[in-house]
Amino acid sequence: MGVNLMERRAAERYDASSTIPLRAPGFEGQGRISDLSLAGCRLKDIEPGRLESGQSITLSLMDNMEASGIVCWAKGRSAGVRFDAPIAMATLAYFRFAEGIDVPEDTNVDGFGRVLPPLDPRTVAPPE
């Protein structure tokens, strides 16, 4: 009996949508980060055929901040990347709330930008 993809992931993934520079052997280009976690991400909108499974890759996440990793899979214009070392929680929060990510105004988040579960209406006092 096999382990499904969600069980194999090392960390919870979050929506993100920022275009970043990336480098791999024989290729420099751009990709759009999506499904970002502390341990990896999915890249979209990359030039087809330029990345392959097992290839090393470096993502330029922010000024003077890079994340190195391994391409776990590549198909068409998308690829999955596992980071060599976890990225900082602040970096994850930055990309989660970057332009292009819709977070409803009434969504409660904790200090790390994680969405909190809704309050139980039975325990909340009605507004005055």
> In the prediction, which pLDDT does 118 show?
63
pLDDT (tens digit, 9 = 90+) per residue, 108-128?
A: 666 656 666 666 655 555 556
> In the prediction, which pLDDT does 79 show?
96
At 89 the three-state DSSP class reads helix
Q: Note whether residue 125 is domain-resident.
A: no
- Which domain does 74 fall in, by range? 5-96
DSSP 8-state code for residue 68: E
What CATH number is associated with residue 27? 2.40.10.220
Domain count across the chain: 1
Q: What percent of the chain has pLDDT over 90?
A: 45
Q: Note whether residue 92 is domain-resident.
A: yes
Q: Note whether residue 118 is domain-resident.
A: no
Q: What percent of the chain has pLDDT over 70?
A: 66
Q: Note whether residue 115 is domain-resident.
A: no
Q: Note whether residue 111 is domain-resident.
A: no
Contact 83, 91 (CB under 8 A): no
> In the prediction, which pLDDT does 72 show?
96
> In the prediction, which pLDDT does 107 show?
58
Q: Is the model's pLDDT at 10 over the cut of 70?
A: no
Q: Note whether residue 13 is domain-resident.
A: yes
pLDDT (tens digit, 9 = 90+) per residue, 11-56?
A: 677 788 889 999 999 999 999 998 898 999 999 999 999 999 999 9
Q: Note whether residue 103 is domain-resident.
A: no
Quick one: how far is CA 85 from the chain centroid?
A: 14
**Exposure on the CB side of residue 10, measured as CA atoms within 13 A:** 13
pLDDT (tens digit, 9 = 90+) per residue, 51-74?
A: 999 999 999 988 788 999 999 999
Q: Note whether residue 109 is domain-resident.
A: no
Distance CA 104, CA 123 (A): 22
